């Protein structure tokens, strides 16, 4: 077969050029089309694929049964986001004829991925790497590792760590490859939500996404990148950037419902939250006065008796101050105490949000609590103390709607004192976020 391949170098070049042009059309679609054409992209790519396949058949002197030919035909059929049985058949033949044809293994792995056979995809990418270290196999292996079925949470955590390692290796092989940076961003995203939400890991994910856009102009047209980054922005309570990201993802792929749903859910949440904050959870004047009248210093628990331990582990003396005197940022050496007027949860369950006030005349503040167990929550009328509160002022504008409110960000319920009691370890759980990237 190798000799036959040498006899037709021109036919092989023509075949390669046609398939390369097809993938360039798909990957650089928005360089020649506006975002308004996004809804037509998949159909346009399918039509371009059909033209390419006809052109392939017209190439004279092409050895039809040769592994490289089968691989390129399978790759052409694999340009669509949908599974192709014909692509699987051609690529399977190609790897049998030439087990060292790495690109065929990578393409076959992608076919199995689209088919939903994650284990077979993992075998293909691992096999490709055993023949030759290459960035495409490393990128794909990073994605597959996060989706493999595991028998325990520890095993899944190990796979996520390994996923980060594979993505880093892909970046090291070619720092100018935008897809490697994007995959690294996704690996850090998974690590962030599977390992206690370390803010440094969130920043590493955001930096990787930014680098993907910097080195590769087509990355900014990847709807998955915008959705995944918006997921992080939402968690960080950068609501304007989150809404813009969801909207951009939806515009780039109108047939994908998730971005639009996420955008609408966040808008609904902000609308409900600001409404409840403005009318103090609809708690009437006399009832509010009665609730506030029952606030006692004893409800501060360890925050009021000098036994509070700060992040460094040292005991800190806290001064109780009114909510309306808080500054933006972390208010070190301060504790606030107020009454819960309402609570609010989202479909994703994270964060648990409640309204807190300490004055009938003053404002109601949103308190957003992360990393809480599903069973944890507070009730209307509970007294809650927040040590060293982290205050944020939000001014959000999106598609003609505007929201303004103040919130206190709480990383874990373990920091709170509810009705004078410290919250036990059973109140905490790692946050999980549901998102489905189409390219993963």
Here the tokens at position 119 are 């284990």
Q: Facing residues of 22 across strands?
A: none
Return the DSSP state at 424: P
CA nearest 317: which of 330, 332, 295?
332
> What is the number of other CB atoms lying within 10 angstroms of the CB of residue 344?
17
Parallel, antiparallel or unpaired: strands 383-387 and 334-344 = antiparallel
Look at phi and psi of residue 279 and say left if phi exceeds 0, alpha if psi is from -120 to 50, else beta: alpha
Task: Please provide residue 429's backbone torsions phi and psi, each rounded to the nearest 5 degrees.
Answer: -150, 150
The pTM (predicted TM-score) of the whole model is 0.87
Q: What is the pLDDT along the chain (440 residues), one digit of tens a residue?
A: 444 445 577 888 888 999 999 999 999 899 889 989 999 999 999 999 999 999 988 886 677 678 999 999 999 999 999 999 999 999 999 999 999 999 999 999 999 999 999 999 999 999 999 999 999 999 999 999 999 998 888 899 899 999 999 999 999 999 999 999 999 999 999 999 887 777 899 999 999 999 999 999 899 999 999 999 999 999 999 999 999 999 999 999 999 999 999 999 999 999 999 999 999 999 998 999 999 999 999 999 999 877 787 666 778 889 999 999 999 999 999 999 999 999 998 777 778 999 999 999 989 999 999 888 888 999 999 999 999 999 999 999 999 999 999 999 998 899 999 999 999 888 887 545 444 455 55
Q: How far apart are CA 434 and CA 430, in angstroms?
A: 13
Q: What is the CA radius of gyration of the chain?
A: 27
Residue-wise pLDDT tens digits, 257-300: 999 999 999 999 999 999 999 999 999 989 999 999 999 999 99
Q: How far apart are CA 165 and CA 162, in angstroms?
A: 5
Q: How far apart are CA 404 and CA 394, in angstroms?
A: 5
- Overall residue count recorded for the chain in this entry: 440
Q: How far apart are CA 25 and CA 259, in angstroms?
A: 24
Here the tokens at position 21 are 């042009």
Q: Facing residues of 315 across strands?
A: 309
Q: 3-state DSSP: the chain helix, strand, coil percent, rounded to 5?
A: 60, 15, 30
Q: To 10 degrees, the CA torsion angle through 6, 12, 14, 18? A: -170
């Amino acid at each position: 077969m190798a000799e036959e391949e040498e006899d037709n170098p021109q036919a092989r070049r023509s075949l390669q050029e046609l398939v390369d042009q097809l993938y360039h059309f798909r990957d650089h679609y928005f360089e020649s089309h506006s975002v308004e054409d996004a809804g037509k992209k998949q159909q346009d790519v399918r039509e371009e694929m059909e033209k390419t396949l006809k052109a392939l058949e017209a190439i004279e002197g092409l050895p039809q049964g040769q592994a490289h030919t089968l691989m390129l035909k399978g790759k052409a059929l694999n340009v669509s986001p949908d599974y192709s049985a014909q692509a699987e058949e051609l690529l399977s033949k190609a790897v049998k004829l030439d087990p060292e044809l790495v690109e065929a293994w990578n393409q076959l792995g992608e076919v199995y991925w689209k088919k939903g056979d994650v284990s077979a995809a993992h075998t293909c990418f691992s096999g490709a790497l055993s023949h030759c270290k290459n960035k495409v196999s490393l990128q794909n292996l990073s994605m597959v590792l996060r989706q493999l079925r595991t028998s325990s949470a520890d095993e899944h955590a190990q796979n996520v760590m390994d996923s980060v390692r594979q993505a880093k290796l892909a970046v090291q092989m070619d720092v100018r490859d935008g897809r490697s940076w994007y995959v690294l961003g996704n690996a850090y995203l998974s690590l962030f939500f599977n390992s206690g939400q370390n803010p440094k890991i969130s920043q590493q994910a955001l930096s990787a996404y930014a680098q993907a856009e910097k080195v590769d102009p087509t990355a900014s047209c990847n709807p998955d990148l915008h959705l995944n980054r918006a997921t992080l922005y939402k968690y960080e309570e950068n609501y304007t950037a989150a809404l813009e990201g969801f909207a951009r993802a939806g515009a780039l792929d109108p047939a994908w419902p998730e971005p639009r749903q996420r955008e609408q859910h966040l808008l609904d949440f902000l609308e409900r939250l600001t409404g409840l904050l403005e009318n103090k959870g609809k708690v009437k004047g006399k009832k509010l006065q009665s609730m506030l009248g029952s606030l006692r210093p004893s409800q501060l628990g360890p925050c009021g008796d000098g036994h509070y331990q700060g992040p460094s582990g040292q005991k800190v003396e806290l001064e109780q101050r009114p909510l309306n005197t808080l500054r933006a940022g972390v208010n070190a050496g301060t504790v606030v105490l107020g009454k819960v007027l309402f609570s609010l949860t989202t479909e994703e369950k994270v964060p648990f949000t409640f309204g807190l006030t300490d004055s009938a005349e003053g404002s109601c503040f949103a308190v957003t609590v992360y990393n809480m167990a599903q069973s944890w929550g507070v009730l209307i009328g509970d007294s809650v103390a927040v040590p060293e509160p982290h205050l944020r002022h939000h001014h959000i504008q999106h598609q003609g709607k505007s929201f303004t409110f103040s919130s206190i960000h709480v990383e874990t319920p373990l920091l709170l004192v509810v009705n004078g009691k410290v919250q036990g370890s059973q109140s905490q759980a790692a946050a999980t976020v549901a998102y489905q990237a189409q390219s993963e």
